[in-house]
Structure formats: structure tokens, C-alpha cells
Amino acid sequence: MIRKAVLPILFCFGVFFSPSLEAQPPKLVVAILVDQLRYDYLERFHDHFCEGGFKLLAEKGTFLTFARYDYCPTVTGPGHASFLSGTSPSVHGIIGNDWFDKASKKSVYCCSDESVHGVGTSSPAGKMSPRNFIGGTLADEMRLRFRSKVIGISMKDRGAIFPAGKQPAGAYWFESSSGKFITSSYYRPELPNWVEKFNSEERPKAFVGQTWERLLEPSKYLWEDDQLGEGMFAGEKSPVFPHAIAISPKAGYENIISSPYGNALLADFAKAAIEGEQLGQGPQTDLLSVSFSCIDYVGHRFGPYSQEVQDITLRLDRQLADLLAYIDQKIGLSNTAIVLTADHGVAPTPEFSKTHGLGGERIDDIALVGELLEKLNDRFGEGSYLLHRKLSDGQLHFNHETLREKHIAAPVLAEFIREWALATGKFQACFTREQLLNGQTPGAVGRLVLNGYNAERSGDIVLVLKPYILHSGSKSGTTHGSPFSYDTHVPVLFYGPSFKSGRYSDEFYITDIAPTLSAALHMESPAGCLGKPLSKILAAP
């Protein structure tokens, strides 16, 4: 009787775990991050997309329409660090593109590493690594699970470095002064042959002297050219089409990165990486991380309601279609898992938002902190109360030596600054280090600030500007970094046999991408992962 009872159970277990019924992992995971791609771009520009780019991913893949960042500041370094780590700056420690280091009392760039040297360059642009990043990413877990080959590429160093994890086969970024892709000695002692070959072709030179014209006729663009607050390329008299691409004596090929030609160059480099590293063509599952940077440069200069942003997004759509067609021909999209998202959005220019009744203002950080210092001197007497005069991502660092000398408790100073900030009419909220360490940050904004706060690296107080008010010393252009929807709402798209197609309005955060991919790949999530998988979008079994 016992044997009869046990046999059906064993039979069921055998069928459930039968190797013939197990899902085969993809040959290649392609993780695409588009710098400053707001969610609404995919809706606003949808009718002018081609069939094989954004439309393919959105209509044949999984489109998460309510995906958001669950922390601030929403800037490039933290966005790329969070993308495949499943965690926020509170854990991975990349709290900004730069931050004030309390030990050295100097500004630190998120990727800087003085212990390494450039490979393919002798300039400081090569002295970069992921050493400031705490923990690991999906890339690291894939290496442990599948012995994956991992390659990260971008026009920006931080875009190539952070998603690729701690020990990829390579991470490569564009050096605008030379027009070449480079790396650092952290990764390897010399450039591989395929990168050397790509660089030797001097492809950036082909774009110099080109004119960036509109892809479509002017009537197809949603806003008129030359919106309020737009910036200009050097040498231009007005911010309108066409735009000439020229080499700058100081910045080299920087103008290429501020145009669609930079995305075209990176897409070609992605093909070269697949070919040169034979990605997706071995027995293991490989990972290619691609960060397209150029929409960010254009968005900063012209704003999200410009013809330039619409045009570069439409052109990236065609470039993506071409890259996906190449992957389909080389590896097969049926053997590929794709995820696409953005590292942040962007605010309208203050001039644009003000004209449309939304308010808007540019804040000069140094002048504002100067006003605060005068107030502090009036209240507590002459003294050096702050370690710097810049509101770096809204953070201030107290000079605790001065506080000890004057017998001023840090919470007393923080309370004074909070009352001053809220009285200016420019700030939405203000949180002290004590509040943040104790988890006492009420409201939706407080939760985002808390997730972006790292106890080791962040400041003594965090100030959040009101919507449409920007930290900007410039008279034109715009920026990002806030906890508001124009900066936090981004598209997330999954594509491939591992995922169900459809539009989903489920609550989904950037920190949910890594665990969702991990679940699809039947592997462990990254070490610091705080997110959860959205299992309803996963294909059976």
C-alpha cells in the first residue's frame, strides 16, 4: 500500500522536473538603457515609429506603463547603478553623478578610480571603474549562474560601467577628445582586436560636417521649433533646424554625442561587440548592456517639448530597429531576452512650463547657499557652517568641527535650515539626517528621498525643490533629478519568449527589473536587490 501511494507522487515530481519540459534559457540578454527617455515619448511619438523598433517592443512585448523610479535624485549615475542591481542608492551607494566626500572634503565622481589607468587613452577619461558601486548586478549573478560573457557599452563611462557589474569581459565608453572607444586597466591591459579595428576605421570623422536635418516634414512635429528656454549649439544664432556637426578644439567630437549620430555610432559598436565577442553564440547565456546617451544631451539643451528631442527619438527608433534586425539575423530574437528602460526623465524648461501656467524658475545654487550662510551668521555668529557652497543634488554637509567649537547641536542647525528653506517658497520638502537614519520621512516624496539616501555618503540635510523649479546656473536648457513624475516616470519594456506580451499598468519600479529578469532566467537576484519580480508577465513554466 505504501508503494502504491508513493509511486504517483514520484511520477508527478518526475514529470514536473523533466528536463524536456524545462524552459531553455535565452542565448543572449540585451539590456538597453536610453538616457533621459521619458515615458510619454513612447506615447506622443508612437504614430511616427517604424514597425521594428519601439513599436515591436511595445506591441509584441511587455509594456509596463506605470514604471517609475522609487528614489531620488533621478540622475544618470544612480539610474545606471540601479538598472540591473535591483536596488537603490541607499544600498549601492551611487548617490549622484558626483558627491561630496566627507573624508577627503572633495567632490568625487561616481566612476573615478585613481588606482587604474586608461586603456586606449592616456587621458583621465580612462581612470574609471565600478569600485564605488557597492554590491553586484544581474551581470555578476549571470556569470555565477551561466558563466556568462558580459559586455557593457555606452557613450558615457558610467553608462557602460555600472550595468556590467564587477567583473565583465569588458566595458567600453566613448572618448570625445579622440573619437575612440576606450576602457581602463581595471578590466584589461589592452583593447581587444575588435575594438582596435572599430577605432581604426575612424567612423566619427564621417559625421563631421554633416547637417542634422529633420527626419520628417515640419508639420509632423508636435511643437513649433524654437520653444522657450532652448539652448543652442556653439556658433549658432538660434536653436532651430538644421544643426551643423563640427569638431570643437576643446571638446573634440562632443557635438556628435549631442546629435543622433552618436546613437548611430553606438549601435554600430554594439554590432561589433556581438561579432567580436561572439555574444549569444556559445553554450552559455551572455549579456550585452547598451546605454544610448544622446537623447540626454539633446534633452538638456533643448527640453522635452522640442523638435530636436522628437527627432532624435524617432531616429533612435530606426536605429533600434536596425540593431534588433541584426540580432535576429545573427542570433534570433526567439533566442534573445530584451529589456529597455531609461535612467530618468527630464523637466520642461522653466520658461516653457511658466508660459503654460505651471510655474517655473531657475535657481542659482551658489547664490542661494550664500543667502543661507548670511542667515546662519546672523543667527549663530560668524563661522564656517557648511563644507561646500553647492547644493549637490539638494544636499548640504555640515562642518561639524565648527558646530563642536560653538556648541551647536546638529539637529538645531538642521531645524534652522529647514525653516529657512521652507520660508523661501522654493522648496517642497526638507529632511534631516536624523529623520532619514530613523526612517521618519513621511509621504511619497519622503519615501523617494529615503531610498536615495546612503548613510555613509549622503549629507546632513536634503532639500527638495518644488515642481518646475530647477537647479540651474544656465539661462537655457533644462535638467532632472527630482522626485516628480516628469523625472521618475519611465518606460519599461520586456521582449522575448520569456515574457507575455501586453500593456500592464501594475505598480512597477526600476528596482523590479533585476528580480523579474532573474526569475525569467531561473537564477538568484543580485545581492542588494530590494525589488520583487512581476511574475504575471513571465511566460510558462
Percent of the chain with pLDDT over 90: 89
Q: Of residues 471 and 54, which shows the higher confidence score?
A: 54
Q: Is 443 left (phi over 0), alpha (psi -120 to 50) or beta?
A: left
Residues 337 and 394 in one domain: no
Residues 533 and 434 in one domain: no
Residue 451: give its domain's CATH number.
3.30.1360.150
| pLDDT band, residue 237 (cuts 50/70/90) | very high
Per-residue pLDDT for 12 more than 60?
A: no
Residues 141 and 40 in one domain: yes
Final residue before a domain boundary, out of 436, 467, 498: 467
C-alpha cell of residue 470: 530647477
pLDDT of residue 474: 82
pLDDT of residue 14: 40
What average pLDDT is seen over the chain? 94
Nearest-angstrom CA–CA distance, 179 and 219: 35
Q: What is the mean pLDDT of residues 162-179?
A: 97
| pLDDT band, residue 17 (cuts 50/70/90) | very low
Per-residue pLDDT for 382 more than 90?
A: yes
- Domain of residue 264, residue span: 28-353+484-537
| pLDDT band, residue 278 (cuts 50/70/90) | very high
User: In the chain, what are the helix, strand and coil shares in percent, each to the nearest 5?
Assistant: 40, 15, 45
The catalytic site residues sit at 76
Structure confidence by residue, pLDDT tens digits, 328-353: 999 999 999 999 999 999 999 999 99
Residues 456 and 498 in one domain: no
Distances (CA, A) of 235 to 92, 206, 229, 231, 255: 41, 20, 17, 12, 12
Amino acid making up residue 196? E
Q: Is 141 helix (H, G, I), strand (E, B) or coil?
A: helix
Q: Of residues 226 and 2, which shows the higher confidence score?
A: 226
Residues 341 and 379 in one domain: no
In a domain? residue 247:
yes
What is the rounded end-to-end Cα distance, in angstroms, of the chain? 33
| pLDDT band, residue 4 (cuts 50/70/90) | very low
Neighbours of 196 (CB within 10 A): 14
pLDDT of residue 291: 98
In a domain? residue 12:
no
In a domain? residue 201:
yes
| pLDDT band, residue 234 (cuts 50/70/90) | confident
Structure confidence by residue, pLDDT tens digits, 287-322: 999 999 999 999 999 999 999 999 999 999 999 999
| pLDDT band, residue 23 (cuts 50/70/90) | low
Residues 324 and 440 in one domain: no
Per-residue pLDDT for 11 more than 80?
A: no
Residues 44 and 126 in one domain: yes
Residues 345 and 400 in one domain: no
Kindly report which listed range (235-239, 264-268, 459-463) carries the lowest average pLDDT score: 235-239
C-alpha 387, offset from chain centre: 28
| pLDDT band, residue 512 (cuts 50/70/90) | very high
In a domain? residue 435:
yes
Per-residue pLDDT for 461 more than 60?
A: yes
Final residue before a domain boundary, out of 432, 467, 502: 467
Is 199 in contact with 273 (CB distance < 8 Å)? no
- Cα–Cα–Cα angle for 247, 249, 252, rounded to 5 degrees: 50
CA-atom Rg of the chain in angstroms: 24
In a domain? residue 18:
no
Final residue before a domain boundary, out of 467, 496, 517: 467
Q: Is 323 left (phi over 0), alpha (psi -120 to 50) or beta?
A: alpha
In a domain? residue 475:
no
Q: Which residues pair with 47 in a beta bridge?
A: none
Q: Of residues 367 and 271, which shows the higher confidence score?
A: 271
Is 493 in contact with 57 (CB distance < 8 Å)? yes
The helix (run of H) or strand (run of E) holding residue 34 is strand 28-34
Per-residue pLDDT for 75 more than 90?
A: yes
Q: Which residues pair with 109 in a beta bridge?
A: 98
In a domain? residue 21:
no
Residues 203 and 123 in one domain: yes
- Total domains in the chain come to 2
Residues 428 and 280 in one domain: no
In a domain? residue 262:
yes
Q: Is 204 left (phi over 0), alpha (psi -120 to 50) or beta?
A: alpha
Q: What is the mean pLDDT of residues 270-291?
A: 98
| pLDDT band, residue 357 (cuts 50/70/90) | very high
Omega before residue 204 within 30° of 0, cis: no
Nearest-angstrom CA–CA distance, 152 and 160: 5
Kindly report which listed range (8-17, 180-189, 292-301, 362-371) carries the lowest average pLDDT score: 8-17
Residues 324 and 372 in one domain: no
Residue 529: give its domain's CATH number.
3.40.720.10
Residues 290 and 383 in one domain: no
Q: Is 125 helix (H, G, I), strand (E, B) or coil?
A: helix
